[in-house]
Amino acid sequence: MSDLTHLTISQARAKLRAREITATEITEAYLQAIERANPALNAYVVVTDDKARDMARASDAKLAKGEGGSLEGIPLGVKDLFGTEGIHTQACSHVLDGFKPHYESTVTANLWADGAVMLGKLNMDEFAMGSSNESSYYGPVVNPWRRSRVDTMVMPTTHQGDGGFVSAGGTRTARTLDNAQLVPGGSSGGSASAVSAFLCAGATATDTGGSIRQPAAFTGTVGIKPTYGRCSRWGIVAFASSLDQAGPIARDVRDAAILLKSMASVDPKDTTSVDRPVPDYEAAIGKPIKGMKVGIPREYRVDGMPDEIEALWQKGIAWLKDAGAEIVDISLPHTRYALPAYYIVAPAEASSNLARYDGVRYGLRVPGKDIVDMYEKTRAAGFGREVKRRIMIGTYVLSAGYYDAYYLQAQKVRNLIKRDFENAFTAGVDVILTPATPSAAFGIADEDMAADPVKMYLNDIFTVTVNMAGLPGIAVPAGLDAKGLPLGLQLIGRPFDEETLFQTAHVIEQAAGTFQPEKWW
Ligand SMILES: NC(=O)C[C@H](N)C(=O)O
């Protein structure tokens, strides 16, 4: 049965439609895999097994009649940020203890309408704030990937007895997995870990400054943040509303295209969702990229970037060139201001969005001597360190006297960043290629990151620009580092041109192959 969990969505879809397997069988295989692996990986915070079985049964009834949607019978995991009716939705925060919404987010409703089966809610950084999944109230998620060491042994040439038997000698290599646990990235760490470890066929995720693409890169999976407005934000717990976008994490580019097609829609309940038809993204896969103009932004060559990342980038450039693309150097001159500006805009919006958690309307309430005391005690107990840090930064940059110096400036910088991209695209660039992250996955409880939050924020250096400009970006696995850990490349496209991203990412995937962790859990 466990083999069923190794099918990609497109493979499972074909087998389900051909009645070679049933939705119940594949769902049971995933539930068993979760039961076995979750104590080690902590990817799921809730497993909705009864619901999964009911949904699978309903899918089987439809499939038996030759009916069903595009995802009929496909088991998925859902990031805990998505409101799921009657089911635990806590953004992995203590402050939302016991919260079960009476509504379903538009994105998840779209998936269920297309026949997908819900396996459970996935772990994440608290309120999506983080790049390591260590700020979750439910504890860190473990990356299924581990560093490995390659030992080369020189085998001596041996002689045996008078017969003069001679062994060939030479070298032998052995790969040993390191025991150190690594982060899966964040904030969608549960989604990335679960997809990579075969604990769901695909997962929903969100990306405010890199939360889909960075964990995808850290786990050898594919993650796309679509254009702002492509997926409805309705029913998703808000972090920074002008930046938040939902998207999928999947095992390959085709699966990501299938999932995004289902998740995306125009929604009157979210005024920022855009009224444009959702194309058949899968149709873009396999289309040649001959003549496509690929921009390489010189400002993404940041100080201290490891040689391995530069080498990966060069490899990506060579693959696209070999496939007939034209490579052009471009300049995005305001890139270096993106990270500081993001860490003003995002906390500012967060401080406003998170004001609603007051102990009255949702979740946790810690009694106090009066209402103000109750607010204070609830918020002090309910929010974790990183969330408190962002609320304080956000409140500060919005306060009278500082608003102009910080928030207003950051908004201006945001416009300049957007204009940089517009200039590149109007000059004829079709897609931009960059590394997805400045490093491979790092260790859980990494001392440097824990001591200095800015080090953690630097994880977002290549991804935040895309959110600031509202553009689509995809992370696609492109190789392994010297320690055997996955590394990803990022492609950035024109607004609403996700098709070009899938088309180009598929070329990289074809050249690089797909990557699976060695099973230890
Ligand atoms: N939410 C995100 O996109 C993650 C980003 N690292 C942040 O902490 O803001």
Residue 507 lies inside a defined structural domain of this protein: yes
Residues having CB closer than 6 A to ligand 1 are: 128-131, 187, 207-211, 346, 460
My answer on whether 162 and 125 are in the same domain is no
Looking at the fold, whether 131 and 279 belong to one and the same domain comes out as: yes
pLDDT at 158: 62
Q: How many CB atoms lie within 10 A of CB 397?
A: 21
Q: From the alpha carbon of 386, which atom of ligand 1 is closest? A: 8
Task: Please indicate, yes or no, whether residues 166 and 310 belong to a single structural domain of this protein.
Answer: no
- CA distance readout (Å), 62 to 9, 49, 55: 18, 20, 11
Token pair for 209: 């400054």
**Amino acid in position 44:** Y
pTM summary value: 0.95
Atom of ligand 1 nearest to the CA of 342: 9
Q: Is the interface score ipTM higher than 0.95? A: yes
pLDDT score at 304: 83
Q: How many CB atoms are located within 10 Å of the residue 339 CB?
A: 20
Tell me the CA–centroid distance for residue 208 and ligand 1, in Å: 6
Could you tell me which of 229, 232, 284 has the C-alpha nearest to residue 253?
284
Q: Is residue 403 part of a domain?
A: no
Q: Is residue 82 part of a domain?
A: yes
Establish whether 51 is a catalytic residue: no
* Ligand 1 atom at shortest distance from the alpha carbon of 210: 3
Question: 335 CA distance to ligand 1 centroid (A)?
Answer: 17
Q: Give the DSSP letter of residue 406.
A: I
CA of 154 to the centre of ligand 1 (A): 46
Token pair for residue 491? Answer: 């492609």
The one-digit pLDDT tens for each residue of the chain (521 residues) are 459 999 999 999 999 999 999 999 999 999 999 999 999 999 999 999 999 999 999 999 999 999 999 999 999 999 999 999 999 999 999 999 999 999 999 999 999 999 999 999 999 999 999 999 999 999 999 999 999 987 877 776 665 545 445 556 677 778 888 889 999 999 999 999 999 999 999 999 999 999 999 999 999 999 999 999 999 999 999 999 999 999 999 999 999 999 999 999 999 999 999 999 999 999 999 999 999 999 999 999 988 888 999 999 999 999 999 999 999 999 999 999 999 999 999 999 999 999 999 999 889 999 999 999 999 999 999 999 999 999 999 999 999 999 999 999 999 999 999 999 999 999 999 999 999 999 999 999 998 888 888 888 989 999 999 999 999 999 999 999 999 999 999 999 999 999 999 999 999 999 999 999 999 99
Q: Is residue 355 part of a domain?
A: no
Span from the CA of 7 to the centroid of ligand 1 (angstroms)? 30
Please give the C-alpha separations between residue 73 and each of 22, 201, 503, in angstroms, as whole numbers.
Answer: 8, 11, 26
Alpha carbons 289 and 283: distance in angstroms, whole number? 14
Query: What DSSP character marks residue 443?
Result: B
The reported pLDDT for the residue numbered 159 is: 55
On whether both 123 and 163 belong to a single domain, the answer is no
Token couple for 266: 């125009």
- Cα 209 to middle of ligand 1, angstroms: 5
Of 59, 79, 131, 232, catalytic: 79
Residue 155 lies in a domain: yes
Cα angle for residues 221, 130, 227 (degrees, 5° grid) = 60
The CATH number that applies at residue 481 is 3.90.1300.10
Residue 473 amino acid letter = G
Cβ of 274: how many Cβ atoms within 10 Å?
A: 17
| Residue 181 CB-density burial (10 A; 0-12 exposed, 13-18 middle, 19+ buried) | middle
Give how many domains the chain has, as a whole number.
2
3-state SS string over 34-98? HHHHHHHHCCEEEECHHHHHHHHHHHHHHHHCCCCCCCCCCEEEEECCECECCECCCCCCHHHCC
Distance 67 CA to ligand 1 centre (A): 40
Whether 93 is catalytic: no
Same domain? For 73 and 166 the reply is no
Pair (109, 76) in one structural domain: yes
Alpha-carbon dihedral of residues 440, 446, 452, 458, nearest 10 degrees?
A: 10
In 10 A of CB 64, how many CB atoms? 11
Closest CA to 474 of 330, 260, 267: 260
Query: In terms of DSSP H, where are the helices of 297-440?
Result: 307-322, 338-353, 371-382, 385-398, 409-426
242 is catalytic: no
Distance 206 CA to ligand 1 centre (A): 9
- Out of 177, 196, 227, a domain closes at 177
Asked whether residue 84 is assigned to any structural domain, the reply reads yes
- The residues, any chain, with a CB within 8 Å of residue 468's CB and separated by 6 or more, are 243, 338, 341, 342, 345, 414, 417, 418
| Largest distance between two CA atoms of the chain | 96
Q: Measure 127 CA to ligand 1 centroid, in angstroms.
A: 9
> C-alpha angle 46/47/51, rounded to 5°?
125
Please report the pLDDT score of residue 167 as a whole number.
55
Q: Which of 193, 211, 273, 351 is catalytic?
A: 211
Structural domain for 502, as ranges: 2-144+181-335+416-512
The ligand 1 atom nearest the CA atom of 467? 3
- Which residue in the list 187, 188, 191, 351 is annotated as catalytic? 187
**Integer Cα distance of 340 and 320 in angstroms:** 32
Cα 84 to ligand 1 centroid, rounded to whole Å: 22
In this structure, the residue with its CA closest to atom 4 of ligand 1 is 211
Residue 384, in any domain of the structure: no
Tokens (6 digits) for 379: 């918020």
Amino acid at 471: L
Q: Are residues 172 and 74 in the same domain?
A: no
Q: Which atom of ligand 1 is nearest to the CA of 243?
A: 3
Residues 171 and 255 placed together within one structural domain of the fold: no
Pair (190, 257) in one structural domain: yes
Nearest alpha carbon, ligand 1 atom 5? 209
What one-character DSSP code corresponds to residue 4?
A: G
409: left (phi over 0), alpha (psi -120 to 50) or beta: alpha
Q: Which of 265, 322, 266 is nearest to 289 (CA)?
A: 322
Same domain, 59 and 161: no
pLDDT at 173: 79
Q: How far apart are CA 488 and CA 499, in angstroms?
A: 19
**Residues 36, 170 within the same domain:** no
How many Cα atoms occupy the beta-carbon half-sphere of 311 within 13 Å? Answer: 9
Are 155 and 238 in the same domain?
no
Mutate to test the pocket of ligand 1, among 211, 228, 345 (most ligand atoms within 8 A of CB): 211
Q: Is the separation of the CB atoms in 119 and 79 below 8 Å?
A: no
List Cβ neighbours of 231 (8 Å cut-off, separation of 6 or more).
106, 107, 245, 246, 247, 260, 263, 264, 265, 273
Query: Is residue 457 within 8 Å of residue 449, measured between CB atoms?
Result: no
Tokens of 182: 């690594």
Q: Which is the closest atom of ligand 1 to the Cα of 460?
A: 6
Among 125, 386, 458, the mutation site with the greatest number of ligand 1 atoms within 8 A of its Cβ is 125
Helix (H), strand (E) at residue 160: strand 159-160
Task: Look at residue 404 and tell me if it is in a domain.
Answer: no
Q: Spell out the alpha helix ranges (H) of 383-518.
A: 385-398, 409-426, 447-451, 453-457, 464-469, 498-512
- As a whole number of angstroms, the distance between CA 500 and CA 497 comes to 6
